[in-house]
Amino acid sequence: MANDEYDPLAQARRISRRSILKFGAVALAVPLAGCYTVGLPGQPPLPDEEFDYALAYAELPDGEFTWPAINYQDFDQRYWRQVVDYRSGEKPGTIIVDPYNNYLYWTLSNKKALRYGIGVGRAGFAWSGDALIRVKREHPIWRPPREMIARKPSLERYWEKGYPAGLKNPLGARAMDLWQGSVDTLYRIHGTNDPSSIGKSVSSGCIRMWHQDAIDLFERVPLRTKVIVLTEDQATA
């Protein structure tokens, strides 16, 4: 049998196969060039000019719970989920929280981001800096912080086992917990049982989102996603 090393036809076949694999892979990658390629696989489509907001903010069955529809048209349109121009030197897939303008950005490139409206509790102004999402929770329980219990002793009963998941839970449908190294910052991105708080500064909580938006973000971002919470100077720069 002829040795392929000295067989021109065999060499040609090998070159042809390599070419098909190489250029076939390139061809498959080309359609993705104009699309978002950050975040988890199977994530929801990004909002575009034909995005159905009525469907996005409709009543949402979610396991044993059904989250109520959002009267999104009662809110300023800037708080609706949308892709916006946003310049950032951060790696695509980074979350940037602007608590002073009530926005959360998920960067898609150095020029674009998916923006959500948020409500900011007192804790949202008490902490800024960089962290990672180390824990993601569906239907989270809520454990009131000790300082809140001091102000309202009736909450003590929720300290040990926490407030159960459900429509009245202050963390809502999802929670994403922010850590710095091995330290839990106690800072959360989460849903809210008070949809009217979006776009506002409120008395308690961290970063609140409509349930539908919290679920949308939850389905996009992997664990160890970098989160930057801006200071007031950074937010107004």
Catalytic residues: 190, 206
Q: What is the 8-class DSSP label of residue 229?
A: E
CB 83 within 8 A of CB 214: no
CA 150 – CA 126 distance, rounded (Å):
18
Residue 177, H or E segment: strand 174-180
Residue 219: closest CA among 33, 41, 37: 41
CA 98 – CA 124 distance, rounded (Å):
10
CA 36 – CA 92 distance, rounded (Å):
9
End-to-end CA distance of the chain: 74
CA 185 vs CA 74, 125, 158, 221, 232: distances in Å = 34, 13, 20, 19, 19
From the number of C-beta atoms within 10 Å of its C-beta (0-12, 13-18, 19+), residue 117 rates as: buried
CB 178 within 8 A of CB 131: yes
